[in-house]
């Protein structure tokens, strides 16, 4: 059935109430009738206003510096996976802007994060972005002073010259660390809310999707030619599928994707796969859909998709079998939506989590040093660990330069890589176009772009808190 997406919305509706004609994402998932978790069909949209958002927020160095001072210092960010530092003495360096932390497995049950800066004369203990294993203690490479893995003072070189330094004022400053879903999170703010509170609905929703039982099977890091927010926002809506990924329209419900806002830090979209775009005037029928999904050989060609079944359902069933065998796990109880759909949660400020089975990505977006005009984007694939088998080592980071194509990353899905190239190929033009704007601000759709508006509102909430003041930021006496 064809829908008219060019007609204005019903004037009797309040702002934010209008939806794309045709079935909603929730309708599609409920019609699957195969036990999708309640969390997946819950809807939580709120209208957050329709004011323009100034482009300056992306390219102004002053705005960037405020974010560095007030946002990155106060928010929980994942620094690594627990599997990156499995043994006592393993460490990894997490860098965010000009901040840098050594995340250390201090003992079997304790992970600590120390400023990557010697309290003697500021030397970095470790190279930014580096990792290592088997440390017995932390030794500064400049004058050789050292600390135990828990940050307590071990040795001051030429101690006779430092009678003013003691265990009390010369241990390593550390920041908050907590874990969830196999991720290690850090927060610089001594007065931060606990991670569990910050995560909002995530622990409850992810009960069905235990990410701690997965391992990093692919890890790609690429520099992108735009501010971290602009790059992240390219992945927060399916509205751009029509123009940017037109090849996906036959098999992706783009304009009827669902958008949710859950509390202060979490938003979500659910974007159905195996369902045609409402934009199509001549959408494929179920047989054609199955062909497009690559599953025509799953049915009797004389009959096609049997009465009462859908292409989406048949394709999901096939993936339960093939991916279940590949991963060595039983996927027989996993709903069609969890098998197929693009389900993306965003955790403010810079994490996206996809709990689905065939699209199991994690994203992280970080400023690139002190440059507001570029950022670092990581894509990880989290694959289930086979029951009863040892956890494979996490994939090493494969780095792509600002002009490198995702298609050159080894092991990256040949189907997905060109899609990421399409997404990131827009960014340089969007960044430079925003600077050339005649109006100086962007307009957002009330529903489909609500996650972008929420991101900006939460940025503002952190900027209004003012600079971080806490004992760790004061010079130690």
- Residue 423's binding partner, choosing from ligand FES, Fe ion, none, with beta-carbon cut-off 5 to 8 A by kind? Fe ion
Counting contacts by CB under 6 A, is residue 193 touching ligand FES? Answer: no
Among positions 420-449, residues that touch Fe ion (CB under 5 A) are 423
Whether residue 76 contacts residue 350, with contact meaning beta carbons closer than 8 Å, is answered with no
Q: Judge residue 6's burial from the number of C-beta atoms within 10 Å of its C-beta, 0-12 exposed, 13-18 middle, 19 or more buried.
A: exposed
Judged by CB under 5 A, the number of residues near Fe ion is 1
Query: Smallest distance from the beta carbon of 101 to ligand FES, in angstroms?
Result: 16
Query: Smallest distance from the beta carbon of 400 to Fe ion, in angstroms?
Result: 17
Counting contacts by CB under 5 A, is residue 237 touching Fe ion? Answer: no
Q: Which is nearer to ligand FES, 121 or 207 (CB)?
A: 121
Q: Which is nearer to Fe ion, 183 or 354 (CB)?
A: 354
- Residue 399's binding partner, choosing from ligand FES, Fe ion, none, with beta-carbon cut-off 5 to 8 A by kind? none
Counting contacts by CB under 6 A, is residue 343 touching ligand FES? Answer: no
Q: Which of 99, 151, 89 is nearest to 124 (CA)?
A: 99
Q: Which is nearer to ligand FES, 149 or 234 (CB)?
A: 149
Query: Smallest distance from the beta carbon of 26 to Fe ion, in angstroms?
Result: 22
- Residue 145's binding partner, choosing from ligand FES, Fe ion, none, with beta-carbon cut-off 5 to 8 A by kind? ligand FES
Counting contacts by CB under 6 A, is residue 102 touching ligand FES? Answer: no
Q: Which is nearer to ligand FES, 124 or 458 (CB)?
A: 124
What lies within 8 Å, CB to CB, of 207 at 6+ separation is: none
Separation between Cα atoms, residue 377 and residue 427, nearest integer Å: 12
Give the per-residue SS3 of 355-417.
CCCCCCEEEEEEEECCEEEEEEEEEEEEEECCCCCCCCCCCCCEEECCCCCHHHCCCCCCCCH
Q: Which stretch binds ligand FES (CB under 6 A): 61-69, 117-125, 416-424, 437-445?
A: 117-125
Separation between Cα atoms, residue 200 and residue 203, nearest integer Å: 7
Q: Which is nearer to ligand FES, 115 or 406 (CB)?
A: 115
Query: Smallest distance from the beta carbon of 69 to ligand FES, in angstroms?
Result: 25
Whether residue 407 contacts residue 414, with contact meaning beta carbons closer than 8 Å, is answered with yes
Which residues does residue 196 pair with via DSSP β-bridges, in sequence order?
none
Q: How far is CA 191 from CA 73, 171, 212, 411, 470, in A?
A: 11, 20, 27, 42, 8
40, 96, 106, 118: residue in contact with ligand FES (rule CB under 6 A) = 118
Query: Smallest distance from the beta carbon of 135 to ligand FES, in angstroms?
Result: 16
Query: Smallest distance from the beta carbon of 213 to ligand FES, in angstroms?
Result: 40
Counting contacts by CB under 6 A, is residue 66 touching ligand FES? Answer: no
Separation between Cα atoms, residue 118 and residue 141, nearest integer Å: 9
Q: Which is nearer to ligand FES, 121 or 429 (CB)?
A: 121
Going by the DSSP 8-state scheme, the letter that residue 464 receives in this structure is H
Strand order in the sheet with 131-132: 77-81, 183-187, 174-180, 110-115, 99-107, 91-96, 131-132
Q: Which is nearer to ligand FES, 104 or 468 (CB)?
A: 104
Query: Smallest distance from the beta carbon of 137 to ligand FES, in angstroms?
Result: 13
Query: Smallest distance from the beta carbon of 93 to ligand FES, in angstroms?
Result: 16
Q: Which stretch binds Fe ion (CB under 5 A): 100-108, 169-177, 202-210, 418-426?
A: 418-426
For residue 130, the tally of other CB atoms under 10 A from its CB is 14
Judged by CB under 6 A, the number of residues near ligand FES is 8
Rg (CA), the chain: 24
The C-alpha angle with vertex 97 and arms to 91 and 98, in degrees rounded to 5, equals 80
Residues in the chain: 477
Separation between Cα atoms, residue 4 and residue 20, nearest integer Å: 9
Counting contacts by CB under 6 A, is residue 296 touching ligand FES? Answer: no
Peptide bond into 349 cis (omega under 30): yes
Q: Which stretch binds ligand FES (CB under 6 A): 116-124, 386-394, 409-417, 457-465?
A: 116-124
Q: Which is nearer to Fe ion, 335 or 424 (CB)?
A: 424
Q: Which is nearer to ligand FES, 138 or 347 (CB)?
A: 138
Binding pattern for the stretch 119-148 against ligand FES, x by CB under 6 A and - elsewhere: -xx-x----------------x-xx-x---
- Residue 42's binding partner, choosing from Fe ion, ligand FES, none, with beta-carbon cut-off 5 to 8 A by kind? none
Separation between Cα atoms, residue 365 and residue 228, nearest integer Å: 6
- Residue 435's binding partner, choosing from Fe ion, ligand FES, none, with beta-carbon cut-off 5 to 8 A by kind? none
Separation between Cα atoms, residue 90 and residue 184, nearest integer Å: 13
Counting contacts by CB under 5 A, is residue 90 touching Fe ion? Answer: no
Structure tokens at 461: 């909430």
Separation between Cα atoms, residue 278 and residue 330, nearest integer Å: 34
Which residues contact ligand FES by CB under 6 A?
118, 120-121, 123, 140, 142-143, 145
Which residues contact Fe ion by CB under 5 A?
423
């Amino acid at each position: 059935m064809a829908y008219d997406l060019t007609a204005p919305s019903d004037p009797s509706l309040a702002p934010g109430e209008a939806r794309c004609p045709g079935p909603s994402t929730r309708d599609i998932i409920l019609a699957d009738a195969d036990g999708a978790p309640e969390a997946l069909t819950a809807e939580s949209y709120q209208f957050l206003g329709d004011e323009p958002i100034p482009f300056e927020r992306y390219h102004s160095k002053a705005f960037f510096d405020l974010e560095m001072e007030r946002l990155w210092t106060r928010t929980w960010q994942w620094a690594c996976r627990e599997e990156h530092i499995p043994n006592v003495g393993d460490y990894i360096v997490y860098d965010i802007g000009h901040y840098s932390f050594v995340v250390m497995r201090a003992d079997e049950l304790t992970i600590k994060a120390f400023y990557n800066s010697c309290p003697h004369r500021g030397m970095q203990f470790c190279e930014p972005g580096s990792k290592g294993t088997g440390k017995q203690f932390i030794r500064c490479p400049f004058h050789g002073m050292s600390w135990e893995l828990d940050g307590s003072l071990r040795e001051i070189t030429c101690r006779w010259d430092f009678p003013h330094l003691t265990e009390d004022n010369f241990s390593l400053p550390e920041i908050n660390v907590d874990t969830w879903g196999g991720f290690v999170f850090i927060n610089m703010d001594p007065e931060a809310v606990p991670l569990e509170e910050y995560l909002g609905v995530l622990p409850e929703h992810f009960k069905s999707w235990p990410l701690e039982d997965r391992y990093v099977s692919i890890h790609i890091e690429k520099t992108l030619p735009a501010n971290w927010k602009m790059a992240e926002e390219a992945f927060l809506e399916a509205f751009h599928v029509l123009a940017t990924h037109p090849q996906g329209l036959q098999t992706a419900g783009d304009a009827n994707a669902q958008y949710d806002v859950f509390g202060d830090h979490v938003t979500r979209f659910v974007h159905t796969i195996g369902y045609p775009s409402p934009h199509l005037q001549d959408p494929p029928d179920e047989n054609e859909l199955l062909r497009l999904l690559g599953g025509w050989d799953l049915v009797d060609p004389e009959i096609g998709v049997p009465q009462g079944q859908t292409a989406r359902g048949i394709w999901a069933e096939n993936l339960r079998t093939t991916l279940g065998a590949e991963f060595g796990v039983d996927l027989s109880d996993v709903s069609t939506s969890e098998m197929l759909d693009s389900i993306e949660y965003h955790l403010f400020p810079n994490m996206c989590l996809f709990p689905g089975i065939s699209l199991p990505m994690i994203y992280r977006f970080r400023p690139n040093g002190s440059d507001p005009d570029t950022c670092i984007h990581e894509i990880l694939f989290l694959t289930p660990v086979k029951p009863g088998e040892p956890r494979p080592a996490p994939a090493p980071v494969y780095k792509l330069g600002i002009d490198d194509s995702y298609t050159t990353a080894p092991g990256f899905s040949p189907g997905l890589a060109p899609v990421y190239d399409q997404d990131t190929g827009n960014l340089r033009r969007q960044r430079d176009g925003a600077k050339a704007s005649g109006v100086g601000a962007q307009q957002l759709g009330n529903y489909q772009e609500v996650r972008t508006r929420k991101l900006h509102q939460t940025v503002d909430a952190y900027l209004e808190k003012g600079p971080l003041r806490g004992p760790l930021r004061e010079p130690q006496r």
